Structure 1
Amino acid sequence: MGIEDLGKQASRLAGKAGEFAKQNADKIDEALKSEQAEGISDKILDGAAGLANKVTGGKHSDKVSELRDNLDGKIGNE
């Protein structure tokens, strides 16, 4: 399989994924607003915020916290 074939296959898969998302938009939205999504997203966002604060020495902790809270508001149910 050549690189061109891989590109065509990736394009087909992206199209199928887009179509699936359109057909299941309500279910996807419901899943993103679930308690389970809230718990998972909290762990990921807390870890990412902690890493960002560690790398920057906490110099931008206010911005990191603001960004973390903004993203958290878009995923889960809290």
Structure 2
Amino acid sequence: MFDKAKEAFGKNPDKAEQGIDKASDAAKSRFGDHADKIDQGADKAKDYLRGGGGDQQNQQGQQGQQ
């Protein structure tokens, strides 16, 4: 599912990031006490869409290889 989203948004990265920002703003308006966690999640989503894959995913892969 993430690969399909990544492919679809890969053609319009600016719009994808705008969508993430809009979703995080909506979440913060409802769950303002957790704004820092929402921002972290939004940043991870943007990194994933840019091809970063996210740190947690890379760490899990490295642990499985040991």
Q: TM-score, normalised by structure 1?
A: 0.49
Structure label with greater radius of gyration: 1
Give unpaired runs (5+ residues) of structure 2. Answer: 53-66
The equivalent position to 1:44 in structure 2, one of 19, 25, 35, is: 19
Return the alpha-carbon distance in structure 2 between the equivalents of residues 74 and 32 of structure 1. 13
Which portions of structure 1, spanning 4 or more consecutive aligned residues, are displaced by more than 6 angstroms? none
Aligned length: 49
If each structure's helix is expressed as a fraction of its own residues, which one has the higher value?
A: 2
Return the alpha-carbon distance in structure 2 between the equivalents of residues 63 and 47 of structure 1. 15
Larger relative contact order (Cα-Cα within 8 Å, sequence gap ≥ 6): 1
CA RMSD of aligned residues (A): 2.8
* Letter of the 2:42 counterpart: R
Give unpaired runs (5+ residues) of structure 1. Answer: 1-24
